[in-house]
Amino acid sequence: MDSKNADLSSLRIDRSENKKSNSKSKYILYVVIILIIIAIGYFTISSFTSNILEVKLTTVIKQTPGRSSAVLTASGYVVAQREASVSSKGTGVLVYLGVVEGDKVKKGQIIARLDDRDIVAQLDEAKSNLQLYQAQLNELQNNYDREKELFERGLSSQQSLDQAEAAYKSLLANIEIAKARIRVAEVSLENMIIRAPFDGTVLTKNAEVGEIVAPFGASTTSRAAVVTIADMNSLMVETDVSESNITKIDQDQDCEIVLDANPGKTYQGYVFKIVPTADRSKATVLVKVAFKNYDSSVLPEMSAKVSFLSRSNEEEKDQAPVLTAPLSAVEEMDGKKVAFTVVRDMAVQRDIITGRLFGNYVEIISGLVEGDKIINDLNEKIKDGVQVKVQ
């Protein structure tokens, strides 16, 4: 009987293994389906975005006719020709700093002070010694005069006279030494005061109250310069001009300066100095361009573009600025001039009226305003309503 039961139990099918195998197959199938969906979505999006045109924008700006037809244009930076990193002649802890960035200072104005208590003590000691010596002066002088008179009358010895004279002259020497120490202490005291060397504006603050200030920054824990100031009336644009183009520039040549921070505004200038040496690593020559006049919006280290005007543009440079756009951003369609702006990632056609040509620029009479961003380097693919992507 037992053998029959054993035989029947051995004939049963183990369904638990089949269930595990089926669940694993379903899991793998789900993963494969998800991967296929992701791949299809990726290729669909890629094919869609690949059809979007990438475009560059340019700005519609006002400029004088002379600038647009300049013989040479170069980039540079506004640099103060009179700039100083102000430091102390003494060493000590900074206890007072009376300026911050942007403050205007006058020549001789106290900017900062260092801890001078030890020097004040030395000065007081030297003054006290001087007072002591001066109090003894009358007594020793009278004693010397008396010994001299007695010696002349034969009532005193040469030794007594020599001693009185030595004491008197020693006191005079001590008085001069005390005066010298007072002067040294006063100079040292003045060295603990940091003054503005000229009228200017504070550009940077390099130290804080509590830090050690030394004339040459003797260690990593000490500061050399407390502030940096510049004379804002000495601003010029320094630009590097290629050696091959330097012959196009003359001393006092008229220029037009445009700051990258405000491309719609033009400043008149002239070539102040052509530095008589070249930079061999860049093959350029440094040219300094002075402003004929400028306002408070011109700041040191601003980037600028300089247009060097030809002598034939003397009349054009005095003309009023006109609205211009690059020729590459203007196209003719159906007998009319058009430009394209970008609105919600779409090219939008703008009908415009153009005027005079100025080199690579054209005058915009209507259809655009100063500051408008338009598509540059137009081609046949750019049409009204086309999806675009700004580079």
Alpha-carbon separation of residue 29 from 20, 24, 33, 42 (angstroms)? 14, 9, 6, 20
Measured torsion, CA atoms of residues 35, 39, 45, 51, in degrees rounded to the nearest 10? 180
Cβ-Cβ contacts under 8 Å for 80 (sequence gap 6 or more):
230, 231, 232, 234, 235, 300
> Taking a C-beta distance cutoff of 8 angstroms, is the pair 308, 248 a contact?
yes
The arithmetic mean of pLDDT across residues 63-67, rounded, is 68
Provide the mean pLDDT of the chain: 85
Which residue, 100, 87, 288, is CA-closest to 192? Answer: 87
Query: What are the structural domains of the chain?
Result: 52-65+320-391 (2.40.420.20), 70-81+234-309 (2.40.30.170), 83-115+192-230 (2.40.50.100), 116-191 (1.10.287)
- DSSP letter for 90, please: S
Lowest mean pLDDT among 83-92, 143-152, 225-234, 344-353: 143-152
Query: Residue 310's pLDDT is what?
Result: 78
Query: Residue 71's pLDDT is what?
Result: 79
Which residue, 66, 95, 359, is CA-closest to 211? Answer: 95
Measured torsion, CA atoms of residues 379, 385, 386, 390, in degrees rounded to the nearest 10? 80
pLDDT tens by residue, 6-30: 455 555 555 555 555 566 677 777 7
Query: Residue 48's pLDDT is what?
Result: 47
Query: Residue 304's pLDDT is what?
Result: 94
pTM to 2 decimal places:
0.61
The arithmetic mean of pLDDT across residues 287-291, rounded, is 96
